[in-house]
Amino acid sequence: MDYVAELEKDVRFQEAMHSCLNCGICSAICPAAEFYNYDPRMIVTTVHRRNNDEIEQLLRSNTIWYCGQCMSCKTRCPRGNAAGMVIQALRLLSQKCGFFTESEKGRQQYGLKKTIGESILKYGYCVHPILVKPELHPEQGVIWEWVIQNRDAVYDRLGANLYKEGAGAMRKIHQKNLDELDEIFKVTGGHDFYNVIEEESKKKAQEMNMSTDENNNEYLLHVLTYNSNEHQD
């Protein structure tokens, strides 16, 4: 596949990828670069060389998944580039090609699809307390477990109208609106995109000997909680 040609079709790539003078201002401001073994400037330079093999390597790597999409790079670049937007284009291509399952950070796309991705269609919220399962989010700690166990009482006390008809925060979203969302996903290719993530991830799960059953999704638990700790210097 001609990855360069694919990237050039992406409007974000067209808008955010001019010439790079390699000044490093994007990496200097980048919070992810401070944390991970990561340098957004190097991504831009690699793409700038328009070498198909190098780009494929990027698409299969952890590198493009370190970015937190804060777009600080865009605020600083003296040439009007935005490394964060170039990365968006690379990520989409990696997802389309199924390369995302080849890296630890890329595999987390499955976790995002299963949580935020499905939540928006099912509840009309990207993040909904009912779906933030304690076992998938150990970082939330024991307090979150307690909140979930006492969900109705806690949310009533906070003045929310959790998953009930009528007005108020966290209210149930009307089926008519959910149907509309579903339609948007149909028309824009959102569903197809989800299917690619699902299929590619299932292939990888099989390869890794993990189940993806609804009731015992080992692979989901793995991608969301495993850390090889190989991402920092």
Partner 1 sequence: MIDVLIIGGGIAGLETACSLQDLGYETVIVEKEKTIGGHLNDWDTLFPTHRPASEVLEHYTEETRKRALTIYLNTYVISVKKQADGLFEVQTSRDVVFHCKSVVLASGYQLFNAERKEEYGYKIYDNVLTSADLEKRLKNLQGEFTTPTGVSPKRIAFIHCVGSRDEKSGNHYCSKLCCVTAVKQAIHMKQICPQADVFCCYMDLRMYGPGFEEMYREAQEKYHVQFIRGRLSEVAENANGSLQLKVEDTLAARPSRLQVDMLVLMVGMETAKSTELFAQSCGLECASNRFVKTKDHHIGSNQTNVDGIFTAGASIGPLSVFDTVNHAKSAAFAVNDYLKAMK
What sign for the dihedral angle of Cα 134, 140, 144, 148? negative
Taking alpha carbons only, the member of 178, 182, 172 closest to residue 128 is: 172
Give the binding-site size for partner 1 (rule: CB under 8 A): 20
Instruction: Mark the segment that binds partner 1 (CB under 8 A) among 1-9, 18-26, 120-128, 200-208.
Output: 18-26
Print the SS3 string covering 137-186. CHHHHHHHHHHHHCHHHHHHHCCCCCCCCCCCCCCCCCHHHHHHHHHHHH
- 80 or 138: whose CB is closer to partner 1? 80
**Options 24, 124, 134, 190; binder of partner 1; rule CB under 8 A:** 24
- 73 or 170: whose CB is closer to partner 1? 73
Q: Report the distance separating Cα 113 and Cα 106, nearest Å.
A: 12
**Options 3, 41, 64, 110; binder of partner 1; rule CB under 8 A:** 41
Q: From the CB of 144, what's the least distance to partner 1, in Å?
A: 33
Q: From the CB of 4, what's the least distance to partner 1, in Å?
A: 23
- 26 or 59: whose CB is closer to partner 1? 26
Contact characters 59-98, partner 1, x per CB under 8 A? -----------------xxxxx------------------
Q: Report the distance separating Cα 40 and Cα 162, nearest Å.
A: 41
- 34 or 135: whose CB is closer to partner 1? 34
Name the DSSP class of 63: G
CA 107 to chain CA centroid, Å, is: 10
Q: Report the distance separating Cα 128 and Cα 117, nearest Å.
A: 11
Q: Report the distance separating Cα 60 and Cα 50, nearest Å.
A: 16
- 31 or 168: whose CB is closer to partner 1? 31
List residues binding partner 1 (CB under 8 A): 21-30, 33-34, 39, 41-42, 76-80
